[in-house]
């Protein structure tokens, strides 16, 4: 190839970009050019980093050929494993037709067929699908739809506010941060955010009301009702991560809490937004977490696992009633003036259709049940470790909270980087996971095999002991050499 092109006034030979770069050069280029999300780049620049080259099933391979179990589903997205034949084929078949066409003023076949599937699978009453490309945008859209809905209803224009949970995480855009509540991530941006009303997160291990279950009789829901009652005239919607507040550290809501929130939204005339970006597509054992409590929200946000972890796609589903609130003559300007360039991207929608079809074809959820039970069993020994305060599990979402003092529940200071250090040991031993502060998060692909699950738990236990009990547990050399490369089930 003799082509050249101009960049910053310099002539570059296309040959240079074709030459396969060495692992060392790739490492160098990463540190030279990439700014990584949620990452202190000063640390990143100084440390040896893992750069992934390929994946198969539940195993990732780095540029040096070392293999790791993908214990965090490539950030909570991988469902059926990497390089899943059916999804690969669906994407390449779509690629032969068209990669992208807009949904603004046009439509495309995969977006239409996927919408039909989503409506059929979603909790009842949800009948309309608005696409975007990330969890944050799905939430942003939900907030704007809820706001505009009440504005266009006429007599309820005062309903402009939002209620959310204190430790919520709904994404990183300004609207989604406004309804978030994780100070470490959000405090800096307070001056940019719109005010929202917070209710306490049900965090039973550290109950903000100082109560214990079951004697508390869901006092947190009563406290929520007091706030909702007071704010209802000024509130458009309440937003909640159903059953599990993921990024807050896998906080599990007590049984009955979600249903109570649904009842309160109905009673006080608030729209209920369920953010199932993390919990959707099988994570909690059912397709959507809302199903556990037979709850149907007014607006549902999904992303992450929707494409099986292949391509960025999100959807915000609404009821027909909300959708109809936006209809009118053009001159009334009731249009929802919102749309992202890649909204309803055909490649991503084709991947999503294939992933959803796999749930039926492979009986993913039926097979998941016994694996969830097995995982619970394998987590039991963690509770007796000296520095494990609580083990929280809902389906395939697990949080292991590490504490400095088990008796007093005193947390490790964040500066000690205890969670990070545990996950670094895991990496050495052939497992990729990411902590949330002092909480070790396990989110393996739903397709993980029993053997891989056992291996993953063994590594995690060993790493926790090594860091929190400050002793090296045996030799670690060549621990990763024999990770099986076979596919997940």
Nearer to ligand PLP, 303 or 432 (CB): 303
Residue 454 burial class via C-beta count within 10 angstroms: exposed 0-12, middle 13-18, buried 19 and up: middle
Closest approach of ligand PLP to the CB of residue 303, in Å: 5
Nearer to ligand PLP, 170 or 462 (CB): 170
Closest approach of ligand PLP to the CB of residue 143, in Å: 12
Name the nearest CA neighbour of 259 among 226, 223, 295, 297: 295
Q: How far apart are the first and last CA of the chain?
A: 43
Nearer to ligand PLP, 56 or 340 (CB): 340
* Residue 34: its H or E element: none
Nearer to ligand PLP, 135 or 437 (CB): 135
Contacts of 248 (CB under 8 A, 6+ apart): 167, 168, 169, 182, 201, 203, 436
Closest approach of ligand PLP to the CB of residue 454, in Å: 27
Nearer to ligand PLP, 114 or 143 (CB): 143
Nearer to ligand PLP, 185 or 336 (CB): 185
Place of tokens 């950030």: 75
Distance in angstroms (rounded) separating the CA atoms of residues 335 and 345: 21
Nearer to ligand PLP, 73 or 449 (CB): 73
Distance in angstroms (rounded) separating the CA atoms of residues 465 and 472: 8
Closest approach of ligand PLP to the CB of residue 139, in Å: 6
Give the CA-trace dihedral at 26, 32, 38, 41, to 10 degrees: 120
The b-or-e profile of 345-355 (16+ CB within 10 A means b, else e) is bbbbbbbbbbb
* Residue 377: its H or E element: helix 364-379
Site residues for ligand PLP per CB under 6 A: 134-136, 139, 169-171, 241, 246-247, 275, 277-278, 303
Closest approach of ligand PLP to the CB of residue 136, in Å: 3
The answer to whether residues 432 and 68 touch, using CB atoms and an 8 Å cutoff, is yes
Closest approach of ligand PLP to the CB of residue 241, in Å: 5
Closest approach of ligand PLP to the CB of residue 26, in Å: 25
């Amino acid at each position: 190839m003799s082509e050249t092109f101009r960049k910053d006034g310099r002539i570059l030979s296309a040959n240079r970009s074709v030459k396969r770069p060495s692992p060392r050069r790739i490492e160098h280029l990463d540190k030279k050019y990439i700014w990584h999300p949620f990452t202190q780049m000063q640390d990143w620049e100084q440390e040896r980093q893992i750069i992934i080259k390929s994946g198969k099933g539940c195993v990732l391979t780095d540029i040096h050929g070392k293999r790791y179990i993908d214990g965090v589903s490539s950030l909570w997205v991988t469902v059926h494993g990497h390089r899943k034949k059916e999804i690969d084929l669906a994407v390449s078949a779509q690629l032969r037709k068209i990669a992208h066409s807009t949904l603004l003023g046009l439509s495309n076949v995969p977006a239409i067929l996927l919408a039909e599937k989503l409506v059929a699978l979603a909790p009842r009453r949800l009948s309309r699908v608005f696409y975007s490309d990330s969890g944050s945008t799905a939430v942003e859209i939900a907030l704007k739809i809820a706001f505009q809905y009440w504005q266009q209803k006429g007599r309820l224009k005062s309903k402009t506010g939002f209620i959310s949970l204190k430790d919520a995480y709904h994404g990183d855009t300004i609207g989604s941060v406004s309804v978030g509540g994780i100070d470490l991530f959000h405090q800096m941006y307070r001056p940019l955010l719109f005010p929202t009303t917070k209710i306490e997160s049900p965090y039973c291990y550290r109950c903000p009301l100082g109560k214990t279950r079951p004697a508390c009789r869901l006092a947190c829901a009563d406290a929520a009702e007091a706030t909702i009652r007071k704010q209802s005239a000024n509130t458009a919607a309440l937003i909640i991560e159903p059953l599990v507040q993921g990024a807050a550290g896998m906080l599990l809501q007590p049984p009955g809490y979600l249903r109570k929130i649904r009842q309160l939204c109905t009673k006080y005339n608030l729209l209920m937004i369920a953010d199932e970006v993390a919990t959707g597509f099988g994570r909690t054992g059912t397709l959507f977490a809302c199903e556990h409590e037979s709850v149907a929200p007014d607006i549902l946000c999904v992303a992450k696992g929707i494409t099986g972890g292949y391509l960025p796609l999100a959807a915000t589903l609404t009821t027909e009633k909300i959708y109809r609130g936006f209809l009118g003559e053009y001159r009334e300007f009731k249009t929802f003036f919102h749309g992202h360039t890649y909204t309803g991207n055909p490649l991503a929608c084709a991947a999503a259709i294939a992933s959803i079809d796999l749930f039926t074809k492979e009986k993913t959820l039926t097979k998941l049940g016994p694996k969830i039970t097995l995982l619970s069993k394998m987590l039991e020994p963690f509770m007796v470790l000296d520095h494990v305060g609580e083990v929280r599990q809902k389906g395939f979402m697990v949080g292991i909270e590490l504490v400095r003092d088990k008796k007093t529940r005193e947390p490790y200071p964040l500066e000690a980087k205890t969670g990070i250090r545990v996950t670094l040991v895991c990496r050495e031993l052939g497992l990729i996971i990411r902590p949330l502060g002092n909480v070790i998060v396990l989110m393996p692909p739903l397709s993980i095999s029993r053997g891989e699950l056992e291996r993953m738990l063994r590594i995690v236990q060993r790493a926790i002991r090594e860091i929190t009990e400050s002793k090296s547990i045996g030799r670690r050399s060549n621990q990763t050499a024999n990770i099986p490369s076979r596919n997940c089930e």
